[in-house]
Structure formats: C-alpha cells, structure tokens
Amino acid sequence: MNTNIAPTRSNLMRIKDELAFSRTGYDLLDQKRSILVSELLTLVDQAVDYQNRVEKALKDASDALEEAIMHMGRLKVANLSGAVGITSSISLSSRKVMGVELPKVSTEFAGSGPFFSPEGTSMLAEVAVNRYRDALSLMGQMSELKVSIMRLAREVRKTIRKVNSLEKLVIPDREATVRYLAGRIEEAERESMIQMKTVKNRMEREGRG
C-alpha cells in the first residue's frame, strides 16, 4: 500500500483505473497460462510417443544393418555404402502459440532404391538404408518437439511469475491503496462537514445576537 499518495479523488480514480487494468491483465495472463500449459502437456505426450518410436526405429535399423553384415560381411557392406545415393535436406518453419514461436521441422530425402545390384548382395542392405532414413525423419520430428517443449516451459514459467506477482503483490497493493485513499477522503469530507456546520451554527448565533 502506498501511503505517500495525496488523498484526492483524482488520485483515487487513477489507482482504481490501475487496479482495473491489473485485474484485466491478470485474467488475460491466467488464460495464457492455461493455454500454454495445455499445449505443453500435449507436446510432452507426443514427445514420449516419438521417443519410443525413435528408439524402436534406431533399433530396427541397427538390427537390419547387423543382419546385412552377417550375410555379406562387414567389408562388403562398407563398400556398398558408397552406392547409397540419398541426399537429405531439413527445412525449418515456425508456428506461434500465444506469441511463443515454435519450430516446425521437415526432413526430406531425395533418391530411392534399389541402390545395389541384387547379384551378390542381400536385400537386408536396402532394408537397413530405408530404416535409417525413417529413423532420421522421426528424429527431426523429435527435435521439433523437444525445442517446442523447452520454449513453452520457459514461457510458462515467465507467465506464472507474472500471474503470481499480480495476484499476490500488485492487485492487493492497489486494493489496499484504494481503501486507504477512500478512507482518508471520507474522513476529510466528514471533517469538512463538521467545520461547515460549526461555522454555520456560529454565524446563526451571531446573527441572533
């Protein structure tokens, strides 16, 4: 509560306006917090799912590569790797949630099999290539989710601090100041009325005298 403000009606109206503005800000920030938390929880659920999918995709790709090595030998598989004509590109865009910019990652591949002659090779090599490509695509989506989660979590923390500041400090302070000013103004008006009545009574007595 600020007791250094002169108890005038103009100051009272100004503090009331500040109080109304603070309450409006609190409502808006509280809504923002709810939306951000909802979006954050949704992305966390998706991230858990993608984490499992990425781990499975990498395991499947690794298993396929190991099987190809067992069938053809490590040296031959290493030599075949040069025949894989796949190029990749990652494009980044963004979307906004309550003013928070979140990334969108798109992984694209150019080039498709078969990359090897079927003579003397195993289809497991092609399978391994395709599975690693799928795993890389999933990892791009996973990175999108992780960055989005970090940014949303940071914004949620900032919003919560602002909401708590308004709820526990700013609004109570403005309310107490309004009560203080209203009380002082009411007290001053009562004193003014008493003085006016005293002067009036004195003038009436003097007039009769």
Q: Taking the CB of residue 119, how many other CB atoms lie within 10 A of it?
A: 5
The confidence score (pLDDT) of residue 136 equals: 86
Residue 117 pLDDT exceeds 60? no
- Of the candidates 18, 13, 6, 2, the one whose C-alpha atom is nearest the C-alpha of residue 184 is 6
pLDDT confidence tier of residue 209, bands split at 50, 70 and 90: low
CA distance 170 to 38: 26
| pLDDT tens figures, 129-185 | 888 888 888 988 999 999 999 999 999 999 999 999 999 999 999 999 999 998 888
Residue 17 sits in which domain range?
Answer: 10-199
Is a pLDDT exceeding 60 seen at residue 74? yes
pLDDT at residue 7 in the model: 84
Using alpha carbons, list the distances in angstroms from residue 162 to 8, 41, 94.
30, 21, 26
Would residue 209 count as lying in a domain?
Answer: no
How many domains would you assign to the chain? 1
Decide if 133 contacts 80 (C-beta within 8 A).
no
**Burial code of 83-107, b = ≥16 C-beta within 10 A, e = fewer?**
ebeeeeeeeeeeeebeebebeebeb
Is pLDDT above 70 for 104?
A: yes
CATH number of the domain that 41 lies in?
1.10.287.3240
